[in-house]
A and B are shown apart, each in its own frame.
Chain A
Amino acid sequence: AQSVTQLDSQVPVFEEAPVELRCNYSSSVSVYLFWYVQYPNQGLQLLLKYLSGSTLVKGINGFEAEFNKSQTSFHLRKPSVHISDTAEYFCAVSFPGFQKLVFGTGTRLLVSP
Protein backbone atom coordinates (compact mmCIF):
# COMPACT_ATOMS: atom_id res chain seq x y z
CA ALA A 1 0.00 0.00 0.00
CA GLN A 2 1.06 3.56 -0.58
CA SER A 3 2.12 5.71 2.33
CA VAL A 4 3.67 9.11 2.80
CA THR A 5 5.92 10.14 5.67
CA GLN A 6 6.61 13.70 6.66
CA LEU A 7 9.04 13.36 9.53
CA ASP A 8 9.02 17.00 10.59
CA SER A 9 5.78 18.11 12.19
CA GLN A 10 7.03 21.66 12.53
CA VAL A 11 9.89 23.61 10.96
CA PRO A 12 10.78 27.04 12.39
CA VAL A 13 12.87 29.29 10.20
CA PHE A 14 13.83 32.94 9.99
CA GLU A 15 12.67 35.14 7.15
CA GLU A 16 14.93 35.07 4.06
CA ALA A 17 16.56 31.80 5.16
CA PRO A 18 16.40 28.67 3.00
CA VAL A 19 14.10 25.83 3.97
CA GLU A 20 13.65 22.16 3.10
CA LEU A 21 10.55 20.17 4.02
CA ARG A 22 11.08 16.44 3.84
CA CYS A 23 8.79 13.87 2.29
CA ASN A 24 9.37 10.16 1.83
CA TYR A 25 6.96 7.74 0.23
CA SER A 26 6.51 4.01 0.13
CA SER A 27 5.40 2.30 -3.06
CA SER A 28 6.50 -0.65 -5.15
CA VAL A 29 5.25 0.92 -8.38
CA SER A 30 5.50 4.27 -10.09
CA VAL A 31 3.68 7.11 -8.40
CA TYR A 32 2.69 10.70 -8.93
CA LEU A 33 3.85 13.11 -6.22
CA PHE A 34 2.37 16.38 -5.04
CA TRP A 35 2.93 19.17 -2.58
CA TYR A 36 -0.05 21.14 -1.30
CA VAL A 37 -0.10 24.19 0.96
CA GLN A 38 -2.87 25.01 3.43
CA TYR A 39 -3.14 28.49 4.90
CA PRO A 40 -5.12 28.90 8.15
CA ASN A 41 -8.81 28.20 7.69
CA GLN A 42 -8.33 27.58 3.98
CA GLY A 43 -8.49 24.61 1.67
CA LEU A 44 -5.47 23.03 0.06
CA GLN A 45 -3.69 24.67 -2.86
CA LEU A 46 -1.41 22.79 -5.22
CA LEU A 47 2.21 24.00 -5.07
CA LEU A 48 3.74 21.58 -7.56
CA LYS A 49 3.54 18.06 -8.88
CA TYR A 50 5.74 15.38 -10.37
CA LEU A 51 4.17 13.12 -12.98
CA SER A 52 7.16 12.14 -15.11
CA GLY A 53 10.19 13.62 -16.86
CA SER A 54 12.60 16.01 -15.17
CA THR A 55 13.13 15.15 -11.54
CA LEU A 56 13.41 18.81 -10.54
CA VAL A 57 9.98 20.37 -10.44
CA LYS A 58 9.32 24.06 -10.05
CA GLY A 59 6.09 25.32 -8.55
CA ILE A 60 4.37 28.48 -7.47
CA ASN A 61 5.64 31.00 -4.94
CA GLY A 62 9.30 30.12 -5.60
CA PHE A 63 9.05 26.53 -4.34
CA GLU A 64 10.71 23.57 -6.01
CA ALA A 65 10.99 19.86 -5.28
CA GLU A 66 13.23 17.06 -6.43
CA PHE A 67 12.07 13.54 -7.06
CA ASN A 68 14.63 10.96 -5.97
CA LYS A 69 13.54 7.47 -6.93
CA SER A 70 16.41 5.64 -5.23
CA GLN A 71 15.70 7.37 -1.93
CA THR A 72 11.92 7.43 -2.48
CA SER A 73 11.90 11.09 -1.54
CA PHE A 74 10.27 14.26 -2.80
CA HIS A 75 11.64 17.06 -0.62
CA LEU A 76 10.31 20.60 -0.98
CA ARG A 77 12.71 23.55 -0.99
CA LYS A 78 12.71 27.31 -1.13
CA PRO A 79 15.93 29.36 -1.17
CA SER A 80 14.50 32.33 0.73
CA VAL A 81 11.25 32.22 2.69
CA HIS A 82 8.85 35.03 3.51
CA ILE A 83 6.57 35.59 6.46
CA SER A 84 3.67 34.84 4.15
CA ASP A 85 4.96 31.29 3.61
CA THR A 86 3.83 30.40 7.12
CA ALA A 87 1.37 27.57 6.54
CA GLU A 88 0.87 23.81 6.67
CA TYR A 89 2.48 21.85 3.85
CA PHE A 90 1.26 18.43 2.77
CA CYS A 91 3.02 15.90 0.61
CA ALA A 92 0.75 13.50 -1.28
CA VAL A 93 1.08 10.50 -3.58
CA SER A 94 -1.19 8.79 -6.05
CA PHE A 95 -1.01 5.89 -8.45
CA PRO A 96 -1.20 6.62 -12.17
CA GLY A 97 -4.71 5.75 -13.26
CA PHE A 98 -6.14 5.97 -9.76
CA GLN A 99 -7.87 9.20 -8.80
CA LYS A 100 -6.94 9.09 -5.15
CA LEU A 101 -4.48 11.18 -3.17
CA VAL A 102 -2.82 9.77 -0.06
CA PHE A 103 -1.56 12.55 2.16
CA GLY A 104 1.18 12.79 4.74
CA THR A 105 0.48 14.23 8.17
CA GLY A 106 1.76 17.65 7.20
CA THR A 107 4.60 19.97 8.19
CA ARG A 108 3.91 23.33 9.75
CA LEU A 109 6.32 25.95 8.45
CA LEU A 110 6.74 28.84 10.88
CA VAL A 111 8.58 31.85 9.45
CA SER A 112 9.60 34.52 11.93
CA PRO A 113 11.19 37.94 11.38
Chain B
Amino acid sequence: EAGVVQSPRYKIIEKKQPVAFWCNPISGHNTLYWYRQNLGQGPELLIRYENEEAVDDSQLPKDRFSAERLKGVDSTLKIQPAELGDSAVYLCASSLSGPLQVTESEAFFGQGTRLTVV
Protein backbone atom coordinates (compact mmCIF):
# COMPACT_ATOMS: atom_id res chain seq x y z
CA GLU B 1 0.00 0.00 0.00
CA ALA B 2 1.33 3.41 -0.93
CA GLY B 3 1.98 5.80 1.92
CA VAL B 4 1.41 9.53 2.06
CA VAL B 5 3.02 11.13 -0.98
CA GLN B 6 4.28 14.68 -0.96
CA SER B 7 5.87 16.80 -3.66
CA PRO B 8 8.21 18.41 -4.21
CA ARG B 9 10.76 17.01 -1.74
CA TYR B 10 12.82 20.18 -1.82
CA LYS B 11 12.09 23.75 -2.84
CA ILE B 12 14.27 26.84 -2.82
CA ILE B 13 12.64 30.18 -3.54
CA GLU B 14 13.38 33.84 -3.09
CA LYS B 15 11.44 35.77 -0.47
CA LYS B 16 8.18 37.33 -1.62
CA GLN B 17 7.67 34.56 -4.19
CA PRO B 18 4.74 32.15 -4.01
CA VAL B 19 5.14 28.43 -3.38
CA ALA B 20 2.82 25.45 -3.28
CA PHE B 21 3.08 21.98 -1.80
CA TRP B 22 1.03 18.97 -2.78
CA CYS B 23 -0.06 15.98 -0.72
CA ASN B 24 -1.76 12.72 -1.65
CA PRO B 25 -2.95 10.88 1.48
CA ILE B 26 -3.32 7.16 2.00
CA SER B 27 -6.32 5.87 0.08
CA GLY B 28 -9.46 5.94 2.21
CA HIS B 29 -8.08 8.20 4.91
CA ASN B 30 -10.62 10.90 5.63
CA THR B 31 -8.45 13.10 7.85
CA LEU B 32 -5.55 15.08 6.44
CA TYR B 33 -3.09 17.24 8.34
CA TRP B 34 -0.47 19.80 7.40
CA TYR B 35 2.32 20.27 9.92
CA ARG B 36 5.28 22.61 9.90
CA GLN B 37 8.56 21.49 11.43
CA ASN B 38 11.12 24.16 12.13
CA LEU B 39 14.76 23.19 12.48
CA GLY B 40 15.38 21.43 15.77
CA GLN B 41 11.70 21.42 16.72
CA GLY B 42 8.80 19.05 16.71
CA PRO B 43 6.04 19.35 14.11
CA GLU B 44 3.30 21.90 14.75
CA LEU B 45 -0.17 21.57 13.28
CA LEU B 46 -1.14 24.14 10.67
CA ILE B 47 -4.47 22.77 9.51
CA ARG B 48 -6.59 19.64 9.74
CA TYR B 49 -9.22 18.48 7.27
CA GLU B 50 -12.06 16.08 7.81
CA ASN B 51 -12.88 15.10 4.23
CA GLU B 52 -13.03 18.42 2.39
CA GLU B 53 -13.80 20.55 5.45
CA ALA B 54 -11.07 22.42 7.32
CA VAL B 55 -12.02 21.69 10.95
CA ASP B 56 -8.96 23.15 12.67
CA ASP B 57 -7.02 25.98 11.04
CA SER B 58 -6.39 28.00 14.17
CA GLN B 59 -2.60 27.84 13.71
CA LEU B 60 -2.59 28.68 10.00
CA PRO B 61 -1.24 32.20 9.30
CA LYS B 62 -4.11 33.20 7.10
CA ASP B 63 -2.57 36.39 5.80
CA ARG B 64 -0.14 34.43 3.65
CA PHE B 65 -1.01 30.75 3.94
CA SER B 66 -3.90 28.98 2.28
CA ALA B 67 -4.87 25.36 1.85
CA GLU B 68 -7.47 23.39 0.01
CA ARG B 69 -8.63 19.82 -0.19
CA LEU B 70 -10.97 19.60 -3.11
CA LYS B 71 -13.06 16.42 -3.29
CA GLY B 72 -11.67 15.36 0.08
CA VAL B 73 -8.60 13.59 -1.29
CA ASP B 74 -5.48 15.48 -2.42
CA SER B 75 -4.50 18.70 -0.72
CA THR B 76 -2.44 21.75 -1.59
CA LEU B 77 -0.78 24.16 0.82
CA LYS B 78 0.23 27.55 -0.54
CA ILE B 79 2.33 30.40 0.78
CA GLN B 80 2.12 33.79 -0.87
CA PRO B 81 4.32 35.71 -0.42
CA ALA B 82 6.97 33.61 1.28
CA GLU B 83 9.14 35.09 4.02
CA LEU B 84 12.54 34.03 5.31
CA GLY B 85 10.93 32.66 8.47
CA ASP B 86 8.86 30.23 6.44
CA SER B 87 11.92 28.06 5.85
CA ALA B 88 10.99 24.70 7.37
CA VAL B 89 9.89 21.19 6.54
CA TYR B 90 6.21 20.94 5.69
CA LEU B 91 4.77 17.56 6.58
CA CYS B 92 1.51 16.10 5.41
CA ALA B 93 -0.16 13.30 7.33
CA SER B 94 -3.37 11.33 7.06
CA SER B 95 -5.45 9.11 9.30
CA LEU B 96 -8.66 7.14 9.33
CA SER B 97 -10.79 8.84 11.92
CA GLY B 98 -14.25 8.51 13.30
CA PRO B 99 -16.19 7.44 16.38
CA LEU B 100 -15.62 3.75 15.70
CA GLN B 101 -11.91 4.03 15.11
CA VAL B 102 -10.02 3.01 18.24
CA THR B 103 -6.78 4.00 16.59
CA GLU B 104 -7.83 7.60 16.33
CA SER B 105 -5.04 10.09 16.05
CA GLU B 106 -2.65 7.50 14.60
CA ALA B 107 -1.36 9.62 11.77
CA PHE B 108 0.82 8.40 8.89
CA PHE B 109 3.31 10.96 7.67
CA GLY B 110 4.77 11.73 4.28
CA GLN B 111 8.46 12.47 3.76
CA GLY B 112 7.87 16.18 3.81
CA THR B 113 8.82 19.15 1.66
CA ARG B 114 11.89 21.06 2.76
CA LEU B 115 11.39 24.73 1.94
CA THR B 116 14.29 27.16 1.90
CA VAL B 117 13.49 30.84 1.45
CA VAL B 118 16.48 32.98 0.49
Contact across chains for A99 and B112 when beta carbons are under 8 A apart: no
User: Smallest Cβ distance from B43 to chain A, in angstroms?
Assistant: 5
- Bitwise, B35-67 to A at CB < 8 A (1) or not (0) is 000001111110010100000100000000000
A103 to B4, CA, bound (A): 20
Within 8 A of B (CB), among A58-113: 90, 92, 94, 96-101, 103-106
Contact across chains for A99 and B48 when beta carbons are under 8 A apart: yes
Count residues on chain A whose CB falls below 8 Å from chain B CBs.
26
A103 to B40, CA, bound (A): 12
Please report the number of residue pairs spanning A and B whose Cβ atoms sit closer than 8 angstroms. 64
Contact across chains for B44 and A49 when beta carbons are under 8 A apart: no
Contact across chains for B112 and A104 when beta carbons are under 8 A apart: no
With beta carbons under 8 angstroms apart, the residue of B45, B106, B109, B112 that contacts A100 is B45
Contact across chains for B42 and A100 when beta carbons are under 8 A apart: no
Contact across chains for A99 and B43 when beta carbons are under 8 A apart: no
- Bitwise, B84-118 to A at CB < 8 A (1) or not (0) is 00000001010101000011111111111010000
Count residues on chain B whose CB falls below 8 Å from chain A CBs.
28
Tell whether B75 is near chain A: CB-to-CB under 8 Å: no
Contact across chains for A103 and B43 when beta carbons are under 8 A apart: yes
Tell whether A42 is near chain B: CB-to-CB under 8 Å: yes
Residues of B participating in the A interface, judged by any CB pair closer than 8 Å: 4, 31, 33, 40-45, 48, 50, 56, 91, 93, 95, 97, 102-112, 114
Residues of A participating in the B interface, judged by any CB pair closer than 8 Å: 4, 9, 32, 34, 36, 41-46, 49, 51, 90, 92, 94, 96-101, 103-106
20 pairs from A and B in contact (CB 8 Å cutoff): A4-B42, A32-B104, A41-B111, A41-B114, A42-B112, A43-B91, A43-B93, A43-B110, A46-B106, A90-B42, A90-B43, A94-B105, A99-B33, A99-B56, A100-B45, A101-B43, A101-B107, A103-B42, A103-B43, A106-B42
